[in-house]
């Protein structure tokens, strides 16, 4: 993003260090949405020229804002304004479209993988089907305001949902599809949550740093009958982007 030529200059003779003043100026741009989530901030040379400061000053200000979680560097792409940390209720049955849409974020989904495969022992047990049965696997990347947020990998029994592969597109709401096309409404859910270090591939997709922690949520959803799983999924989300909340 290019800065306005009318940006307020820094006070070089003030008691407040220049890097602190620059931090405040950038925070002001973020809080007023002049720089929104997912936007790139001006480059180091642009900031140096606009505010008449050294690269050392710029780098310290940016490093502090990274430490505060307001900015993140993406290798080869620049420095971006981060998405505010989400709060997701573990008692909510809604999908991501519903959750983030209510928070006025623009949600987009893109299919990473879509295909049929044999269930095998593990998936067969989780979906309550024979290991030789065929399941549909769909993996999608979900972004909020352009920021990669979650990888959702879902599995469905094709005996329960025949023809499902032709119904799923990038922006399909899975829960709405199950209800409208197959008469199966999600009524109950079981979640198992763990934390682990992100893999190199996940770091690349999420623009995370090496060593960052990922929430891994295993989710099984049911209709009225809790003995018949409708969907088994694994959701991966960087811990820096989401708080998991339980209200009792």
Percent of residues, the chain, with pLDDT higher than 90: 59
Q: Which DSSP symbol is given to 240?
A: G
Query: CA 174 to CA 187: how far, in whole Å?
Result: 14
100 confidence band (pLDDT: 50, 70, 90): low
Average pLDDT, the chain: 87
Q: pLDDT tens for residues 193-235? A: 999 999 999 999 998 888 889 999 999 999 999 999 999 999 9
Helical segments of the chain, H only? 18-31, 44-51, 55-67, 96-101, 120-127, 174-182, 200-206
Query: CA 96 to CA 144: how far, in whole Å?
Result: 10
* Residue 109, phi then psi, degrees to nearest 5: -130, 140
Query: CA 247 to CA 158: how far, in whole Å?
Result: 35
Using H for helix, E for strand and C for coil, what is the string for 155-211? EEECCCCCCHHHCCCCCCCHHHHHHHHHCCCCCEEEEEEEEEECCHHHHHHHCCCCC
183 confidence band (pLDDT: 50, 70, 90): very high
Segment among 91-100, 126-135, 182-191 with least mean pLDDT: 91-100
Q: Which residues pair with 98 in a beta bridge?
A: none
Q: Give the model's pLDDT for residue 74.
A: 80
Q: Give the model's pLDDT for residue 82.
A: 83
67 confidence band (pLDDT: 50, 70, 90): confident
Q: Give the model's pLDDT for residue 96.
A: 59
147 confidence band (pLDDT: 50, 70, 90): confident
Percent of residues, the chain, with pLDDT higher than 70: 92
Nearest to 106 by CA among 142, 155, 139, 64: 142
Q: Give the model's pLDDT for residue 247.
A: 75
Across residues 48-70, what is the average pLDDT? 92
Q: Give the model's pLDDT for residue 208.
A: 83
97 confidence band (pLDDT: 50, 70, 90): low
The two three-digit tokens of residue 155, written as one number: 């599995």
């Amino acid at each position: 993003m290019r800065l306005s030529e009318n940006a307020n200059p820094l006070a070089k003779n003030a008691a407040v260090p220049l890097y602190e003043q620059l931090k405040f100026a950038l925070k002001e741009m973020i809080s007023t949405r002049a720089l929104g989530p997912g936007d790139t901030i001006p480059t180091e040379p642009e900031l140096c020229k606009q505010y008449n400061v050294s690269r050392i000053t710029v780098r310290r200000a940016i490093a502090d804002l990274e430490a505060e979680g307001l900015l993140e560097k993406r290798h080869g792409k620049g420095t971006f304004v981060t998405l505010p940390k989400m709060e997701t209720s573990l008692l909510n049955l809604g999908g991501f479209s519903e959750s983030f849409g209510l928070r006025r974020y623009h949600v987009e989904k893109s299919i990473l993988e879509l295909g049929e495969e044999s269930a095998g022992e593990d998936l067969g047990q989780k979906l309550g089907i024979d290991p030789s049965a065929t399941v549909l696997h769909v993996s999608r990347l979900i972004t909020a305001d352009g920021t990669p947020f979650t990888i959702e990998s879902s599995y469905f029994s094709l005996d329960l949902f025949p023809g499902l592969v032709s119904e799923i597109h990038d922006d399909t709401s899975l829960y709405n599809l199950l209800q409208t096309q197959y008469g199966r409404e999600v009524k109950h859910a079981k979640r198992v949550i763990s934390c682990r270090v992100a893999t190199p591939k996940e770091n690349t997709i999420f623009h995370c740093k090496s060593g960052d922690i990922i929430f891994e949520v295993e989710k099984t959803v049911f209709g009225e009958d809790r003995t018949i799983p409708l969907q088994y999924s694994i959701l991966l989300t960087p811990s820096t982007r989401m708080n998991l909340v339980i209200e009792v």
